[in-house]
Structure 1
Amino acid sequence: MRWKSQIGLILVVILTDLLVVGLVQHDDVIYRTPLGRIERVTNLKKVPQTDNFNNHDYRAKQRLQIKILNGKHRGQTVSVKNEYSGSQATDLKYRPGQTVLLHFNGTGQRVKGATILDLKRDVAITILVVIAVGLLILMRRTGIHAIVSVLLNMVLFFIAVEIDVQESGYAVLAIFSVVAVLFSAITLALVLGWNKKMMVSLLTTLAGTFSAMLIGGLVFSLTGNGGLHFETMEYVTQNPEPLFLAETVLGSLGAVMDESTDIIVSLAKLRKENPQISMKQLWISGRNIGKTIMGPLLNVLFMIFMADTFSMMVLYLRNGNSWQYAFEMNMQLGFVQSLISGIGIVLTVPIASWLTGVFFKNKGVPTNG
């Protein structure tokens, strides 16, 4: 009967996901911004372009016939011109069937003209969200706990950002340090339950993260932030250094939490199966588990960092900048964050092994812990 229940749950999740996507695809009436669907596209002549660095591109124009989908002008058709480049770095080439956000240039009984603001992107985002949520729901209790923890952490994050804005950034590092503690406590309590493993994982996560931050802060202080280009942080209207450190706390927290949980849960299970195991054996086992986990975690951090900066690196290099300058302007701060996170990952291994030995040294782990 269990497999029938699982199949039923899968069908319910799929049907619910399809319903949600369908509703979002036809949610035009809830938008205040005018929406339009591109009915016909006429592509005009392309004009080749070459810059001083021999980069080849082209400019082209389109004439779009757009049907208005909401508001008092619903059903009317408006003609819009669009200019785009072949690279589409700062513009878009549109095609029939796409839904766009519009700004009317002049209105009366009929729309006289319009400008495209952007694509309506909520359908694509919704599809990704419902797939992720659906897969988590199929994992039942564990997946639901993960969804709840993500939602709670999102609420905390937005509250913290609002407080930071209200305080004009004067206490950004303190605010997000508190948020990091709350993130860890909420996530671990929902994933592991309120027990000894959760407490040890929380202590390890915080110790590993803030030890790495302490080392990073000490290095910055001793070197006077030499060589760090905080001015490359885009659109920052507050002191960039503490904001950078706050970003680093949140960036390293996830990897350290993942590693500490894996080590501690494994050691707790080992302790439960063999209550007579010595603290030295726990230490060695924890170190071996950590060696296995460290490599993939460090590579994941590096790949995320590379993916985040790849497009701007290519842009800088294609415009004649040296590798050194492109690295300093785009990758340097992210690379420093990755190094601090890597320090936290390495420090977490001995911290997790030692704390597990201390907390579980006298008796086996209780059944519920």
Structure 2
Amino acid sequence: MNKGFQKKYLLYLLVFFGFIGSMVFVYHNHDFYERTILKVTETIETDRIEITDNYENKDYLVTQKITAVIQNGGEDKGKTIELENQYSGSQATHFQLKEGTEFFLAKDGSSVGDIKRDKYLVLVAWLFIIILLLVGKKQGALSVVSLAVNAVILSVALDIYIRNSDNSLLIICGISIILFTVLSLIMASGLNEKTYTAIIATLLSTFASLLIAYVALLVTKEQGIRYEEMAFLTRNPQIIFMGGLLIGSLGGSYGCGNHHVFLYL
């Protein structure tokens, strides 16, 4: 058995055990949460009414009686409680609860909070990683490492933003984009002239996109842009929109940077 095959075999084993271990963990990690988690054991629909909004859009509102078992919380673990849940047919802001669904108890201690989705997120993440490794092989593995590093940078950036004012968002996004680009391209291609060309092309394309968008918004006075979907945000939607635009344009600019590398070669 050659060394190359041994390394590949070891990698597959690590992925397999990592997948099994992480899935087992997220299905039994209730005690790691400070918020109370409940699992639905029974649902009964008690009321259903039709509603119409100001724009004549029709929907319906359902009221559920929920019986659930507490999954964590020390002495309260295992206790059964009853709650009431309301959701609309569109499920725009609230969700229908079914038997087996796990959710967080709201801060008031008597209503339904968010759905516990970590198991679904971990499953999707592992599917993405496995496909990336099968298709990209060594480059796929480097991409996974790069993605993990970028996730850490994003987490730190969000924490810094939460502790500061809205005006700091563009600065935080700008620094994050530089770190994303430099680290990702160095991990993928190493330290060489091709990588330097890709980094410069990516950053120039990204910030040029932001400049064009800013000028367009300035000239049009933001006509045609609606912020109704951001009604639940607690921060300035215009600043968040520009920050999202800056981060979002990075993907296209990254492709532009790789295109410049291809031309360079």
Q: How far is 1:67 from its partner?
A: 1.7
Identity rate of aligned residues, in percent?
A: 25
Aligned pairs for 1:162-173 (under 5 A) are 162-173=159-170
Give ranges in structure 2 of 5+ residues lacking alignment: none
Partners of 1:164 and 1:170 within 8 A in 2: no
Helix, strand or coil for the counterpart of 2:100?
coil
Partners of 1:164 and 1:175 within 8 A in 2: yes
Instruction: Using the TM superposition, name which of 208-217 and 224-233 deviates more.
Output: 224-233
Q: How far is 1:119 from its partner?
A: 1.8
Q: Take 2:107 and 2:202, find their aligned partners in 1: how far apart are those partners?
A: 52
Aligned pairs for 1:266-285 (under 5 A) are 267-268=264-265
Q: Say whether 1:97 aligns with 2:100.
A: yes
Of 234, 238, 241, which residue of structure 2 is paired with 1:240?
238
Partners of 1:68 and 1:74 within 8 A in 2: yes
Aligned pairs for 1:344-359 (under 5 A) are none
Helix, strand or coil for the counterpart of 2:76?
coil
Instruction: Using the TM superposition, name which of 4-13 and 186-195 deviates more.
Output: 4-13
Of 145, 148, 160, which residue of structure 2 is paired with 1:148?
145
Q: How far is 1:127 from its partner?
A: 0.9
Higher relative contact order (CA 8 A, sep 6+): 1
Q: Take 1:10 and 1:158, find their aligned partners in 2: how far apart are those partners?
A: 28
Of 9, 21, 24, which residue of structure 2 is paired with 1:22?
24
Partners of 1:230 and 1:240 within 8 A in 2: no
Of 255, 258, 275, which residue of structure 1 is paired with 2:255?
258
Summarize deviations over 1:58-78 as a string: whole Å, max 9, x none.
333322221222221222222
Match of 1:197 in 2: 194
After superposition, the Cα gap between the structure-2 partners of 1:149 and 1:56, relative to the gap in structure 1 and judged at 3 Å, is: same
Q: Take 2:226 and 2:54, find their aligned partners in 1: how far apart are those partners?
A: 30
After superposition, the Cα gap between the structure-2 partners of 1:102 and 1:217, relative to the gap in structure 1 and judged at 3 Å, is: closer
Q: How far is 1:29 from its partner?
A: 1.8
Q: Take 2:168 and 2:261, find their aligned partners in 1: how far apart are those partners?
A: 33
Q: Say whether 1:82 aligns with 2:80.
A: no
Match of 1:69 in 2: 71
Partners of 1:35 and 1:69 within 8 A in 2: yes
After superposition, the Cα gap between the structure-2 partners of 1:191 and 1:39, relative to the gap in structure 1 and judged at 3 Å, is: same
Q: How far is 1:193 from its partner?
A: 0.8
Which residue identity does 1:119 align to in structure 2? I
After superposition, the Cα gap between the structure-2 partners of 1:144 and 1:172, relative to the gap in structure 1 and judged at 3 Å, is: same
Helix, strand or coil for the counterpart of 1:37?
strand
**Larger-gyration structure (1/2):** 1
Of 211, 215, 239, which residue of structure 2 is paired with 1:214?
211
Helix, strand or coil for the counterpart of 1:70?
coil
Which residue identity does 2:235 align to in structure 1? T
Of 119, 124, 128, which residue of structure 2 is paired with 1:132?
128
Aligned pairs for 1:151-190 (under 5 A) are 151-190=148-187
Partners of 1:17 and 1:134 within 8 A in 2: no
TM-score relative to the length of structure 2: 0.80
Summarize deviations over 1:226-273 as a string: whole Å, max 9, x none.
6265865553635935x54443332212211123214423651xxxxx
After superposition, the Cα gap between the structure-2 partners of 1:100 and 1:192, relative to the gap in structure 1 and judged at 3 Å, is: same
CA RMSD of aligned residues (A): 3.2
Partners of 1:14 and 1:134 within 8 A in 2: no
TM-score relative to the length of structure 1: 0.60
Summarize deviations over 1:121-148 as a string: whole Å, max 9, x none.
1111111122223334454432232122
Q: Take 1:229 and 1:219, find their aligned partners in 2: how far apart are those partners?
A: 12
The size of the alignment, in residue pairs, is 259
Match of 1:115 in 2: 111
